[in-house]
A and B are shown apart, each in its own frame.
Chain A
Amino acid sequence: MMVASRNLRLCTKDCMCLFVCPTGATDTESGQIDASKCLDGCRLCVDACPGGAIYLVPRNYPKPQPKREDVVKALFALAESKVKTRALANGLGDDYPLARKALDFSLEVLAEDCVREGGYMLPQSVVTKEFLKDLRERYGDDPAFPVKAVERLLDLL
C-alpha cells in the first residue's frame, strides 16, 4: 500500500497534481494530499509534478534488519546515560537557562537515536506494539495514564 505525499518545501504551485488526480485527493485546504482519497500506488501526480515535490509513502514497511543482542544492549546503556545527563542538565538551574535548553534538546536527539537504532524505529513494528501492550499492563491502573491513547494506537498501527 503506497499513498502520495507532498513535500511542501519543494512545491512550486504548478498544480499539475490537481490536473491529473482522478479522485481529487491532491486538492485540499491543508496543502497535503488526502490519504483517504489517494489510490494505492497510482502515482499519476508523482510523475506529473514538475517540481519533484510528490513522492509515495508506504503504509506498511518491510521488517527491520535483525539486531545483535549485545549491540542493542550497548545502545540502551548509552540511551540510559544520555537520559541521566539530560536530567542533570535540567538541574543546572537558572544561571544557565539557554545552556540548559540547548543540552536538553541535543540530549533528547541523542537518546532518541540510540533507542531508534535499538529497535524502536518504526511505529508499525512488532516491537512497538509489544511496547504499547507492556505499557498498558504496567501503567493501566494509574488513572492519569492515557490508556485510551494506547488502545487507539494499537487499533491504528
Chain B
Amino acid sequence: MGAFNHGELTVICTNLRKACEKQLRSEEAALFGNLATYFSGKTESPGQATLQEIGAVIDEELATLYPQANEQAEAAGDRGTKRALLWGEKVTRLHKSFLMRLERNPKLLDETPVWVCESCGFLFVGAVSPAICPICKVPNIKIHKMEVR
C-alpha cells in the first residue's frame, strides 16, 4: 500500500466508513470509524500555522498538481477522476478566496455563517445556504452550517 502517512490513512478509513454507511452496513461503518480514530490520533501536527502558509500550499496545487492530474486523466479518458478533479479544483479556488477574505477581515465569520457541502466540500460564507450546491448540485440538506460551542 506504499508509505501512506497517518493523515492519509485517516481519510482512507473515513472514506470507507462513509461508503459503508451509504450501503447501510452500520457494523462495518463503525469498525472503519475505529480505525480512522486510531490514525487521526497518530496524525502529526505541524503546530501553529498562518493563513499565508495554507495559501502557499493551495497555490502550488493550482499551479502544478491539478493541471498535471487533469492532463493525465484526460489522456486516460478517466471520467471519474476528471469529475473529482473538476469539483476539487473549484473548491480549492474557493478555499484560496476564503483565506484571502479572512486575511483582509479576520472577523469575517463573526456575523456571517460559513457552510460546507458534505458531498464535494463546497465552502460558502453567507446568511443562508444555496438551495442546491453550485458545484456538485446536491440539495442543501447536505450543506452544513459550521458551528462551534
Contacts and interface: CB of A to CB of B under 8 A. Distances in A.
B98 A57 contact: no
Contacts of A122: 19
B139 to A, nearest CB: 10
Contacts of A77: 65, 69
Interface of B, secondary structure class, is helix
A90 B147 CA distance: 15
B25 A123 contact: yes
Interface residues of A toward B: which range?
35 or more
Nearest to A100: B148
Q: How large is the interface on B (under 10, 10 to 19, 20 to 34, 35 or more residues)?
A: 35 or more
| Chain A binding surface SS class | helix
Interface of B: 1-2, 5, 7-12, 14-16, 18-20, 23-25, 27-28, 31-32, 34-35, 38, 43-51, 53-54, 57-58, 60-61, 65-66, 68-69, 72-73, 76, 78, 80-81, 84-85, 87-88, 91-92, 95, 98, 102, 106, 108-109, 114-123, 141, 144, 146-148
